Amino acid sequence: MNAVQQFKLSGTALPTDAGSMLDEICEHFVEHAEVQRTGNLALLSSKTGTASIRVQDHKLLIELACPSESELQMSRTIIAEHLFYFAGDDPLELIWSEPASLSVLPNIHEVTVVSSEDVTPRMRRVKFACSDVAPFVGGDMHVRLLAPPKGRHPVWPGLREDGRVAWPEGEDELLVRVYTIRAVDIERRELWIDFLQHPAPGVKTPGADFARDVQPGEKIALLGPGGGGLPEAQSILMAGDESALPAIARIAAEVPPDTRIQAIIEVLDEAEEQPLPSAGMIEVRWLHRKSYPPGAKGVLAEETKKAITSIDDQTFVWVACEKEDVRSIRAFLKSRRHDRKNMYVAWYWERDPA
Ligand SMILES: Cc1cc2nc3c(=O)[nH]c(=O)nc-3n(C[C@H](O)[C@H](O)[C@H](O)COP(=O)(O)OP(=O)(O)OC[C@H]3O[C@@H](n4cnc5c(N)ncnc54)[C@H](O)[C@@H]3O)c2cc1C
C-alpha cells in the first residue's frame, strides 16, 4: 500500500459485543484485504485504503484513510454495510466524524441497454452503453446491477448518514443482483454482461428474467466495479460453473502471454461450452452435469480438489460456484495450507437460499 492516504474519516460503532464483531470483521475481510490482527486492533489494507479498527470500552473505534475522497466514501459504505450485516437483528449504533451526505453514490454508473443475444442456449449476453468505461478497464470485475421496476422512471440509491446505502423503497424498489463484466469494449463504450438462464420451477429468477426480457433503450445502473480482478500469477487454476464462466472467460482473455491456465468448468452439456481465447497457455476441462449419474453431488468440488493436489504453492487458485462446493474447496485448501494470498474462493449463488 504505497499511495498517500490523505483522505481520512473516523467513526465509532457500538455493537452488543465489540470483540466478537472484530473477530467477524477479520474473518470476513481476509478474503478481500490484507488483515493484520494484534489483540484488540485490526488493520485492513487494500489498494483502496486502510481501515484501523480497535476495540475500546465496548466500542469499535474506526479510522479510515484513503487516497481519494470517492474511495473514502466507498470504504465507509463497505464498513457500514458489513457492520450492520454482522450485527443482524442486534442493535448497532454507528456515528462518523462527518456524516455521509452524498445524494448519489460515487461509484454508480447509469447505463443503457444496447442489445441482447443468446451466446449459448442458456447464456444470454446483454450489452450496455456506458459514457465512461474507464473504471471498468482492468482491475475489479464485478458489479451490482440495479434495475428499476419495468416501465418506471429509475430512482437510484443515495447514502444514509451512517454510510449505508439508502435503497429506494416501495414502488421504486430496485432489482439488485451481482454480475461480472464479461468484457469492456473501449471503442464502442460498451460493457457486456453474460446472464445464465437457470429456470427454477416454482421459484422466481428476477436476474435471469431481466436479461431474457430486456429491451434496447432501457436504463439500469451498475454499482462498482469491485470484488476482485485478474489474478497476478504465472500459473492459475480456475474452477467454476456457468455463473463463473463470464469471469473465467474474462480472466483468460486478459492474462499476459506465458500465463499457464488450467480450467475446470461445469456446464449443463456440450452446447453450453464456449471458446476461451487467451494469450496464455490454456487447458480447459468441461464437466457436463447432464452426464452425471442421478443424485450426483459435489462433482465439481471433487474434481477441483484432485487438481489442487497436483499444483505448487505459487499457483493461484481461482474458484467460484455454488456455496456448498465453495465451502468444501475452501476447507480443502486450508487443510493443504495453500497461501491465502494465492487464492480467490467465492460463492456466486446458493442452492437453498434462506
Ligand atoms: C461476484 C459475483 C459475480 C457473478 N457473476 C455472474 C455472471 O456474470 N453471470 C451470472 O449468470 N451469474 C453471476 N453471478 C451469480 C448470480 O448473481 C446469481 O446466480 C443470482 O442468484 C442470480 O439471480 P436470479 O435473480 O436469477 O436468481 P435468484 O433470485 O437469486 O435465485 C432464484 C433461484 O435460482 C437458483 N439459482 C440462482 N443462481 C443460480 C445459478 N447460477 N445456477 C442454478 N441455480 C441458481 C437459486 O438457488 C434460487 O432457487 C455472480 C455472483 C457473484 C457473487
Q: Residues 331, 323: contact at Cβ < 8 Å?
A: no
Asked whether the predicted pLDDT for residue 30 surpasses 50, the reply is yes
pLDDT in tens, 142-172: 999 999 999 899 999 999 999 999 999 999 9
* 102, amino acid identity: L
- For ligand 1, the distance from its centroid to the CA atom of residue 144, given in whole angstroms, is 12
Q: Give the residue, by CA position, lying nearest to ligand 1 atom 12.
A: 243
Q: Residues 266, 287: contact at Cβ < 8 Å?
A: yes
Asked whether the predicted pLDDT for residue 3 surpasses 70, the reply is no
- Give the torsion through C-alpha atoms of 338, 340, 341, 343, to 10 deg: 80
Separation of alpha carbons 273 and 255, rounded Å = 20
Q: Residues 126, 208: contact at Cβ < 8 Å?
A: no
- For ligand 1, the distance from its centroid to the CA atom of residue 300, given in whole angstroms, is 17
Question: Once rounded to an integer, what is the mean pLDDT over residues 228-243?
Answer: 95
Looking at every residue in the chain, the average pLDDT score rounds to 94
Q: Where are the alpha helices (DSSP H) in 30-156?
A: 69-87
Q: Give the residue, by CA position, lying nearest to ligand 1 atom 44.
A: 198
Our answer on whether the CB atom of 351 is closer than 6 Å to any ligand 1 atom is yes
Name 32's Cβ contacts closer than 8 Å, sequence gap at least 6: 46, 227, 228
- For ligand 1, the distance from its centroid to the CA atom of residue 179, given in whole angstroms, is 8
- The candidate with the shortest Cα–Cα distance to 299, out of 322, 272, 275, 270, is 322
pTM attached to this predicted model: 0.91
Pocket test for ligand 1, best of 198, 210, 274 (most atoms within 8 A of CB): 198
Pocket test for ligand 1, best of 243, 318, 321, 344 (most atoms within 8 A of CB): 243
Asked whether the predicted pLDDT for residue 208 surpasses 60, the reply is yes
Pocket test for ligand 1, best of 120, 192, 205, 242 (most atoms within 8 A of CB): 205
Asked whether the predicted pLDDT for residue 83 surpasses 50, the reply is yes
pLDDT in tens, 46-61: 888 999 999 999 999 9
* 340, amino acid identity: R
Measured from the Cα of 242, ligand 1's closest atom is: 41
Pocket test for ligand 1, best of 174, 196, 222 (most atoms within 8 A of CB): 196
pLDDT at 34: 86
DSSP conformation letters of 9-41: EEEEEE-S-HHHHHHHHHHHHTTTSEEEEETTE
Order of strands, sheet of 281-288, starting from the edge strand that comes earlier in the sequence: 281-288, 260-267, 235-240, 316-322, 343-349
pLDDT at 354: 66
Helix, strand, coil percentages in the chain from 3-state DSSP, rounded to 5: 25, 35, 40
Measured from the Cα of 351, ligand 1's closest atom is: 47
- For ligand 1, the distance from its centroid to the CA atom of residue 351, given in whole angstroms, is 9
In a 3-state reduction of DSSP, which class is residue 129? strand
Pocket test for ligand 1, best of 193, 297, 348, 352 (most atoms within 8 A of CB): 348
Name 184's Cβ contacts closer than 8 Å, sequence gap at least 6: 133, 136, 137, 190, 191, 192
- For ligand 1, the distance from its centroid to the CA atom of residue 29, given in whole angstroms, is 22
Greater model confidence, 283 or 203: 283
Judge residue 239's burial from the number of C-beta atoms within 10 Å of its C-beta, 0-12 exposed, 13-18 middle, 19 or more buried: buried
**Number of helices and strands in the chain (H, E):** 6, 20
Length in residues, the chain:
354
pLDDT in tens, 164-193: 999 999 999 999 999 999 999 999 999 999
pLDDT in tens, 110-135: 999 999 999 999 999 999 999 999 99
Our answer on whether the CB atom of 348 is closer than 6 Å to any ligand 1 atom is yes
Domains in the chain (CATH in brackets) are 7-96 (3.30.310.50), 108-226 (2.40.30.10), 235-349 (3.40.50.80)
Distances from the Cα of 253 to the Cαs of 248, 249, 275, in angstroms? 9, 6, 10
pLDDT at 47: 80
The percentage of residues in the chain with a pLDDT greater than 70, rounded to a whole number, is 98
> ∠318-319-324 over CA atoms, to 5°?
160
Asked whether the predicted pLDDT for residue 341 surpasses 50, the reply is yes
Measured from the Cα of 195, ligand 1's closest atom is: 11
Asked whether the predicted pLDDT for residue 2 surpasses 50, the reply is no
pLDDT at 32: 76
Our answer on whether the CB atom of 227 is closer than 6 Å to any ligand 1 atom is yes
Our answer on whether the CB atom of 354 is closer than 6 Å to any ligand 1 atom is no
- For ligand 1, the distance from its centroid to the CA atom of residue 58, given in whole angstroms, is 38
Separation of alpha carbons 236 and 250, rounded Å = 13
Q: Give the residue, by CA position, lying nearest to ligand 1 atom 3.
A: 179
Distances from the Cα of 184 to the Cαs of 5, 208, 211, 221, 253, in angstroms? 29, 21, 18, 16, 11
Dig out the grid coordinates for 86 from the structure: 454482522
- The candidate with the shortest Cα–Cα distance to 262, out of 324, 306, 298, is 306
pLDDT in tens, 264-304: 999 999 999 999 999 999 999 999 999 999 989 999 999 99
